[in-house]
Amino acid sequence: MPSDDQVTSLSGLGSRAQNGAVAFATTHWSVVLTAQGESPAAHEALEKLCRIYWRPVYSFVRKQGAGPEEAEDLTQSFFALLLEHRNFDAVRKEKGRLRSYLLTSLKHFLVSEHRRAVTVKRGKGERPIPLAELTAAQHSEMEPADHLTAERLYERRWALTLMEQVLRRLKNEYDTAGNTELFDSLKQLLADEEDAPSRAEIALRLEMTENAVRQALHRLRHRYQLLLREEISHTVAIAGDIEDELRHLIAVLRT
């Protein structure tokens, strides 16, 4: 279940993103949509997206009644078959958003395949997508909530995964620049956490002025909004869909 801080982080920065622009260059999803025949670039792009967004798929499968191990197996099998078929003509018919395409494909997969058939088909020379190892706490967070439908759980996990990806990229940038401690401090202010230190406390600990902390936070938020929009652009077909997708994700987390 997303926290109020997480919703604030996405919705607040999302609204500010209206004032910024992001270059809609050749993104992962657009590469897949425009693929002609057996395209290595399209296959690589689709595999990268699968590696990032497997958690919403896993959550949906769990909500359907599968246990943790079975859900992991089905999730890997789903992506393995998706990559093995490489039916980019079918992908292009879906157009629009990766989020919707994967959910539609997953529903068809679960209806047409029972576990034994999936296990037999799995591994036809196709390397399965390695799922990231989860801690016990993360497993607990991904347990299906009783009051949510499978579709709603999928949507929420999608939004949270996207936010996690953006924060991971942002942290990597600060780590590379040698500003890990600054990022760790400002991240708490970014999400408006209740127990977050004040700007004065951060300034004292990092030996900065409060004004310098304020400016650093402004830069962090600005970079976050750009990365957020860029990450969304990797999952939609056209630049005009970015704002709609952002509004949709905000609505999903608020309900």
Distance CA 188, CA 183 (A): 9
What is the pLDDT at residue 183? 96
Q: Is the pLDDT at 137 greater than 80, yes or no?
A: no
Q: Is the pLDDT at 8 greater than 60, yes or no?
A: no
In which residue are the tokens 């402004």 written? 218
pTM: predicted TM-score of the whole model, two decimal places: 0.74
Confidence class for position 132, pLDDT limits 50, 70, 90 = low
Nearest 5 degrees, angle CA 59-CA 63-CA 67?
85
Distance CA 158, CA 37 (A): 29
**Overall domain count for the chain:** 1
Q: What is the chain's mean pLDDT, rounded?
A: 79
Mean pLDDT along residues 218-245: 92
- 50 vs 125, higher pLDDT: 50
CA 157, 160, 166, 170 dihedral sign is: negative
Mean pLDDT along residues 71-78: 90
Q: Tell me the residue range of the domain where 188 lies.
A: 4-254
Q: Is the pLDDT at 23 greater than 50, yes or no?
A: no
Q: Is the pLDDT at 100 greater than 60, yes or no?
A: yes
What is the pLDDT at residue 20? 43
What is the pLDDT at residue 17? 43
In which residue are the tokens 């088909």 written? 121
Residue 225: which of 173, 188, 170 has the closest Cα? 170
Mean pLDDT along residues 108-113: 80
Collapsing DSSP to helix, strand or coil, 101 comes out as helix
What is the pLDDT at residue 136? 46
CB 56 within 8 Å of CB 107: no
Poorest-pLDDT segment among 31-40, 93-102, 227-236: 31-40
Percent of the chain with pLDDT strictly greater than 90: 38
Q: Is the pLDDT at 211 greater than 60, yes or no?
A: yes
- 182 vs 132, higher pLDDT: 182
What is the pLDDT at residue 156? 92
Confidence class for position 19, pLDDT limits 50, 70, 90 = very low
Both structure tokens of 48: 């990268």
Mean pLDDT along residues 22-29: 59
What is the 8-class DSSP label of residue 129?
A: P
Poorest-pLDDT segment among 105-119, 150-164, 221-235: 105-119
Q: Is the pLDDT at 249 greater than 50, yes or no?
A: yes
Sequence-ordered list of residues with C-beta below 8 angstroms from that of 243, at least 6 positions apart, any chain: 18
CB burial of residue 210 (10 Å; 0-12, 13-18, 19+): middle
